[in-house]
């Protein structure tokens, strides 16, 4: 398994740490990294593409297991929208592969460069939380490697305690190596977008509640500097396929 000593940072670049970074390409490689770290009495942090703002993927003096080389799309059913990917596959990879068949990830964050494993470990949200929730709600199952090097298949029916704990678990439960997701059928990869200016936080909330059930996506830019009646003024963007 390729391993280097290097300094890595979170996406905000506010915190950095020197670590031994390993790049497994398979489940057996992951087990090898875990075994070696246990022999050397080193802890392990799991890292995808490194787009977390803070330090949750850093491990000063320890091992960082980076999944970016585990980037294969294993299977996609264009009839049902079910896709199976390794955890290092990115949002962009899935988007470009599936949109030509009329399928889209139900939940997409503000960047397309995060990995699916990282998205699951952080249980990311998109600009459609009211409609679709977080990404964990669209995960059908996943394979995870525990610190014992045991590989488990987890779903809502099988090993459900680990299934629900590993989603949002930041890699503390184990290394998620393979994920099955349910995609969303869409008519196009384009949205009809509208923007409305708001005069205050109350106006913004009222407009949001007025449009939320009529929009596939929505996001607000809020002015937190203004004072008085203008506090919270901003722009509400909403869009539909």
In this model, does residue 173 exceed pLDDT 90? yes
> Is the Cα dihedral 10, 176, 156, 91 positive or negative?
positive
User: How high is the pLDDT of residue 12?
Assistant: 87
User: How high is the pLDDT of residue 99?
Assistant: 96
Residue among 22, 25, 42, 43 at smallest CA distance from 33: 22
In this model, does residue 123 exceed pLDDT 90? yes
The DSSP line for 68-127 is: TT---EEEE-TTT-EEEEETT-BHHHHHHHHGGGTEE-S---S-S-SBHHHHHHHT---S
> Is the Cα dihedral 169, 77, 80, 109 positive or negative?
positive
User: How high is the pLDDT of residue 127?
Assistant: 93
User: How high is the pLDDT of residue 55?
Assistant: 87
Q: Is 33 helix (H, G, I), strand (E, B) or coil?
A: helix
In this model, does residue 19 exceed pLDDT 90? yes
pLDDT digits (tens, 9 = 90+) for 21-54: 999 999 999 999 999 999 999 999 999 999 988 8
Quote the tokens at residue 61.
Answer: 């003096």
In this model, does residue 194 exceed pLDDT 90? yes
Contact of 162 with 153, CB cutoff 8 Å: no
User: How high is the pLDDT of residue 159?
Assistant: 98
Q: What is the DSSP letter of 159?
A: S
CATH code of the region 73-185: 3.30.465.10
CB-based burial, 1-19: b 16+ in 10 Å, e otherwise: bebeeeebebeeeeeebeb
In this model, does residue 213 exceed pLDDT 90? no
- Separation of alpha carbons 222 and 53, rounded Å: 21
Backbone angles phi, psi at 36, to 5 degrees: -65, -40
- What is the reported pTM? 0.92
In this model, does residue 20 exceed pLDDT 90? yes
The mean per-residue pLDDT over the stretch 152-158 comes to: 98
- Separation of alpha carbons 223 and 127, rounded Å: 19
User: Going by CATH, does the domain composed of 2-66 fall within 1.10.1060.10?
Assistant: no
Contact of 188 with 106, CB cutoff 8 Å: no
User: How high is the pLDDT of residue 53?
Assistant: 81
Backbone angles phi, psi at 216, to 5 degrees: -80, -35
In the chain, where the domains are located: 2-66, 73-185, 192-240
Same fold, 2-66 and 73-185: no
SS3 letters across 168-217: CCCCCCCEEEEEEEECEECCCCCCEEEEEEECCHHHHHHHHHHHHHHCCE
């Amino acid at each position: 398994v390729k391993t280097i000593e290097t300094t890595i940072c979170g996406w905000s670049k506010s915190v950095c740490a020197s670590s031994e970074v390993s790049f497994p390409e398979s489940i057996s490689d992951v087990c090898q990294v875990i075994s070696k770290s246990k022999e050397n009495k080193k802890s392990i942090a799991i890292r995808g593409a490194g787009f977390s703002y803070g330090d949750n993927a850093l491990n000063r003096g320890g091992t960082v297991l980076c999944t970016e080389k585990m980037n294969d799309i294993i299977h996609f059913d264009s009839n049902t929208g079910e896709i199976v990917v390794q955890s290092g596959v990115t949002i962009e990879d899935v988007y470009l592969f599936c949109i030509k068949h009329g399928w889209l990830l139900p939940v997409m964050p503000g960047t397309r460069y995060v990995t699916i494993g990282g998205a699951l470990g952080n249980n990311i949200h998109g600009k459609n939380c009211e409609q679709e929730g977080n990404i964990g709600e669209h995960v059908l199952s996943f394979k995870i490697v525990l610190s014992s090097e045991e590989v488990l298949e987890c779903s809502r029916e099988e090993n459900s305690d680990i299934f629900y704990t590993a989603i949002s678990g930041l890699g503390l439960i184990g290394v998620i190596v393979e994920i099955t997701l349910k995609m969303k059928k869409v008519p196009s990869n384009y949205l009809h977008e509208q923007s409305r200016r708001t005069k205050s936080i109350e106006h913004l909330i009222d407009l949001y509640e007025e449009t939320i059930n009529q929009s596939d996506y929505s996001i607000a830019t809020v002015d937190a500097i203004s004072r008085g009646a203008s506090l919270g003024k901003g722009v509400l963007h909403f869009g539909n396929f």
